[in-house]
Structure 1
Amino acid sequence: MAHVLMIVTSADRMPNGEPTGLWLEEFAIPYTLLRDAGHAITVASPRGGTTPIDPRSAEEKTPAEWEDAAARLRQTQPLDGLQADDFDAVFIPGGHGTMFDFPGNLDIARLLARFHDAGKPIASVCHGPAAFVGVMRTDGRPLVEGYTLTAFSDLEEKLVRLDDQVPFLLSERLRELGGKVENGLPMLSHVREDRHLITGQNPASSKKAAELLLARLAD
């Protein structure tokens, strides 16, 4: 049994005042797969406590198979004080909230740099790779430099009409940091795996990204 850290957003508002947060599917599906495989899971966020869920991602009634996941989102641990050495892998779901409190977060940068240096799996989907922005490896280079990865595409951001609300276009920024970003068709599952970095493009990629992480943990 492995111990997996899942990092979720604490941000609940867009610049225009509209609610945002975590995209529920991107957490619930990987969480459930990891739980059912017998792995221990710690859910943490920048502020701790209850994680906001983007209302566009939530049904009026939470699917029964997601109820346990939803309950864990009401009691997240603060990132401050957590140590990467206590975990075997990290999974970072998205939601537009991540674009506001992940980039440049010192706790996230500290944890991910250590995960990378230790060669532990780092998995993320959709806007989750916003967590990579500002993370530097011990060699002084950006975390994503030289890695093939994917993330919510610039086209998808424009299709959902939120390109004027985010602080930057995520795929574009990851390319600027030296990442080899490969995007697939909008809103269809598209996953990339390069060494110990696993990334999915959008919510539809959540299951496949989690399955690749499970395969790594089974090695």
Structure 2
Amino acid sequence: MTKLLFAVTAADHWTLKDGSKHPTGFWAEELVESHRTFIEAGFDVVVATPGGRAPVVDEGSLSVDANGGDEAKVADQKEYLASIESTLQKPLALEEQKAADFDAIFVPGGHGPMEDLAVSSQFGALVSDFLDGGKLVSTVCHAPAALLPARRSDGAWAFDGYELTGFTDEEETQAGLADVAPWLLETRLRESGAKFSSGAAWGPHIVVDRNLYTGQNPASTKPLADRVVSALS
């Protein structure tokens, strides 16, 4: 059975450049669609967070407006989250996980990873172990921020030269947070050495480079999860 480490942010806020705290967490669609796809594929999905703290959903991600006006979609997300509440309430600690115990790692987004995973040297080391072991690494939307702390002993970025995608500066601007963000994901990834690829704003866009699988935004989640399942089957 394929064993997948499902690494979720434990942050409940994102510190903006003026020091204020913007409420956030994981993005509902990104967690729901990916987790459900992996479970339906028969994977052994292990949910883990920094410190083993229960993750929180970004309430904005459950608004009807954030889901294209689709009330049924929101209801489905709420129902699925309720069905896995016991799992989310008792995640394992990411710091105690080892790449050798898994076949792949997946990180759903939301602004949460920008707050905690993006600055965790421990998580950076874990992701590097997955990468170096030839194991599949996958992130979606803002979660590529979690790749940033993957640094070598000489300071080089483990993903330097990789083609990838993530939430674009254009999308952050359209979402209304670019002006208050302490840093922008696309810009930071490019500065770090990524070959950043983007599709149309808010449309699905997937990039695969070696064992790195990335999706641009919430709409990319299901297609990305399907690609991950195909690659691991």
Length-normalised TM-score, structure 1: 0.93
Note the residue ranges of structure 1 that are not aligned, 5 or more in a row: none
RMSD between aligned residues = 1.8
Q: Aligned ranges for residues 179-198 of structure 1 at < 5 Å?
A: 179-198=194-213
Cα-to-partner distance string for 1:31-86 (whole Å, 9 max, x where unaligned):
11110111101111113231011001125754434543444322211112111110
Q: Give the match for residue 19 of structure 1.
A: 23
* Alignment of 1:114 onto 2:129: yes
Of the structure 1 ranges 114-123 and 141-150, higher mean CA displacement relative to structure 2 is found in 141-150
Task: Point out where structure 2 has 5 or more consecutive residues left out of the alignment.
Answer: 64-73
C-alpha contact 2:206 2:216 (8 A) present in aligned 1: yes
Contact preservation (8 Å) 2:95, 2:123: no
In structure 1, what residue type is equivalent to 2:185? L
Bigger helix share: 2
Instruction: Describe the SS at the equivalent of 1:167.
Output: coil
Deviations, residues 105-130 of structure 1 (Å, cap 9, x unaligned): 02211210100110000011000000
Pairing 1:215–2:230 present? yes
**How many residues of Structure 1 are paired with residues of Structure 2 in the alignment?**
218
Q: Percent identity?
A: 38
1:29 to 2:36 alignment: no
Mean Cα deviation higher: 3-12 or 72-81: 72-81
SS at match of 1:123: strand
Which range is displaced more, 52-61 or 2-11? 52-61
Task: Write the distance in 2 (CA, Å) between the matches of 1:162 and 1:214.
Answer: 33
The two structures have a TM-score, normalised by structure 2, of 0.87
Q: Which amino acid aligns with 2:3?
A: H
Cα distance in 2 for partners of 1:139, 1:89 equals 26
Instruction: Return 15-24 or 79-88, whichever deviates more.
Output: 15-24
Shift of residue 137 of structure 1? 4.5
CA contact (8 A) 1:32 1:66 kept: no
Cα displacement (A) at 1:139: 7.9
Q: Describe how 1:1-219 pairs up with structure 2 within 5 A.
A: 1-15=1-15, 16-58=20-62, 61=75, 62-137=77-152, 141-218=156-233
